[in-house]
Amino acid sequence: MPSRKSPVSFINEHTAEYYLLANLSSQLLGYYARITPLFFWSNREGSSISQEGIQKGLESKISGIIGIFPRRPKVFVPGQAKIFVKINISILRAAQFGQREGIPLFAGVPLASNIVDLHWGVECAWLSLLNVNVETDYFLEIPLKKSKEIHDFESHNKIQNLTKRELIETIANYSKPILWESAMTLIKEIRNSANPSFEEDSRSWPFYGGYKPFFVLLHK
């Protein structure tokens, strides 16, 4: 058994997205008539032809939008009883920007410590990124059997792990109706601000690194 000085992940963020969206959809569809998940590209979802589709029938006003940063569960050994999660400063700054604009952002992580434990319907932890200190990384320890409990072993401000009810209430309290055109502009700004090397003059870059949330448009 290899010994590790720090926990490592066994999946990437894109794999985590599949399980997070399945879990999130099952929760949202009890409260919203329709949800529209998007992985935003400005020259696809934000393009002129997408706008034409809006003008030809789909309502131009969205009841609300949320953003999700997929996070990777990290472990020292597969199958252990807890996972570790890191929330980076750039994610928190993007969430702060989104909160100001009426688009709440959350971090999500599948509750699995072994790749063979992942399955359609696996439980997930939903972490609120609202009203927290944005000048420090957060290193979280989440027990799998009591995942509501989070130990933040380096930061002082707590990141809240939301129950299903708390997640829905937070979305209802912080998300605001928005026109499609405005939504696409704000989503682009949120994605840009989640780039660790983001600067004012980098807004026009067609490609950039950093953390890429997916978004869910909510329709009542």
Q: Confidence band (pLDDT; 50, 70, 90) for 2?
A: low
Q: Is the pTM of this model over 0.85?
A: yes
Domain boundaries, the chain: 8-219
DSSP string covering 43-83: TTTTSHHHHHHHHTTS-SEESEEEEEEE---EESSTT-SEE
**Residues 138-175: pLDDT tens digits?**
999 999 986 566 666 554 457 889 999 999 999 999 99
- Residue 201 scores a pLDDT above 50: no
User: Is residue 212 a contact partner of residue 67, using CB atoms and an 8 Å limit?
Assistant: no
Match 């399980």 to its residue by tokens.
19
Sign of CA dihedral 13, 18, 21, 27: negative
